[in-house]
Structure 1
Amino acid sequence: MSFEASGLTKQEPYEFWVTASTNIGEGQPTKPLIIAPNTRVPAMIASFDDIFTATYREDVKLPCLTVGVPAPEITWKIKGTPLENNDRIRQLPEGSLLIRSVTRQDAGEYSCFVENSFGKDKITHNIMVLGK
């Protein structure tokens, strides 16, 4: 579950807290958090390192879901080498990496790097290829 507060004034402090509510009643609130909205959000990746097992000739999509303001720049490295998009391996508009028809040579580390003027982040996926 999530909640987005809209219409807030920048740099104006707001107090937030959460309570749980059921048909029995409302629980105790969390400790209040006082925060002021601003337009500076460090680049972060909202997906986690993972190991992907693919079958020979299967398509694989490696996630790299990002947040940040300004929008982070996304770069991929394959086994330490910067990605060069081609017909088989390319970065998708949302930042994920698509590998078409994997082979044994595609097995290994794939790292996603994100950066904006307020921060940077990195995740690394590993691909294992089964068959041929």
Structure 2
Amino acid sequence: MLMTQFPIPILIPDLSASTLSLQHHPTRKEKIAVPVPGPPAGVKSAAATSSVVFVSWLPPLKLNGIIRKYIVFCSNLHPTVMSEFEASPDVYFYRVPNLARNRKCSIWVVAVTAAGRGNSSETITVEPRAKAPARILMFNGTVTTPWMKDIILPCKAVGDPPPTFKWLKGNVHSNGSFIIWIVKSEDSGNYSCVASNNWGSAGSR
């Protein structure tokens, strides 16, 4: 009788020579990305004197947290020098001093939260100079107020010499602000501020 054999190997582990290793892999905590603030919604700058400019801005449309401060950047091209200035979170103006006369500088602003520095605003160019025409640093906007309350409409402007202010309605406050006492329905409407000096004028509404 002929027989054909097909060997089938059977592997028997040598338990005496092997060890079973059990390792604990702790769960990895994934970092949650917290978004930084968006760019300030607007930025303006104007010369106040031959060595000083003022910067104003609007808060970001997307705060993504509590604003801790703002940083104003000022960069000169020749020679290349960049300076940073910190501003309080509830202040939207900054005075940048000690600039070179008749030398243009680039200005931009960022908001800062616990997540870090946000996106930069647009970059604008300003030149400190004497005999600077009046320029308004406020932004146009709408103000909503309860009935029978007092309201102050600010008007901030710079120039050399310092500008004077005039409003379309009512009297001018000492700092250029317009005050409406005990607001009534007939007080609604458009209010325009005009700032002027010897070298020019500018308006806001």
Give TM class, smaller chain: 0.5 to 0.7
1:6 aligns with 2:94: no
1:56 aligns with 2:147: yes
4+ long deviations beyond 2 Å: 1-8, 14-18
What TM-score, normalized to structure 2?
0.40
Secondary structure of residue in 1 paired with 2:186? helix
The structure-2 alpha-carbon separation of the partners of 1:108 and 1:119, relative to structure 1 and needing over 3 Å to count, comes to same
2:200 to 112, 119, 124: 119
Aligned-residue CA RMSD in angstroms? 2.5
What TM-score, normalized to structure 1?
0.60
Which has more strand, going by share of residues?
A: 1
Measured against aligned partners, the alpha-carbon deviations of 1:16-55 in whole angstroms (never above 9, x if no partner) come to 578xxxxxxxxxxxxxx8x6x5321110110011111111
Deviation at residue 122 of structure 1 after TM alignment: 0.5
Q: Could you tell me the percent identity over the aligned residues?
A: 29
Structure 1 distance, partners of 2:104, 2:180, is 45
The structure-2 alpha-carbon separation of the partners of 1:65 and 1:17, relative to structure 1 and needing over 3 Å to count, comes to closer
Structure 2 distance, partners of 1:117, 1:76, is 18
What stretches of structure 1 of length at least 5 have no aligned partner? 19-32, 86-90, 125-132
What stretches of structure 2 of length at least 5 have no aligned partner? 1-70, 73-84, 86-95, 108-124
Larger Rg: 2
The structure-2 alpha-carbon separation of the partners of 1:57 and 1:118, relative to structure 1 and needing over 3 Å to count, comes to same
1:95 aligns with 2:186: no
Equivalent pairs, count: 95
Deviation at residue 118 of structure 1 after TM alignment: 1.5
1:105 aligns with 2:197: no
Deviation at residue 5 of structure 1 after TM alignment: 4.2
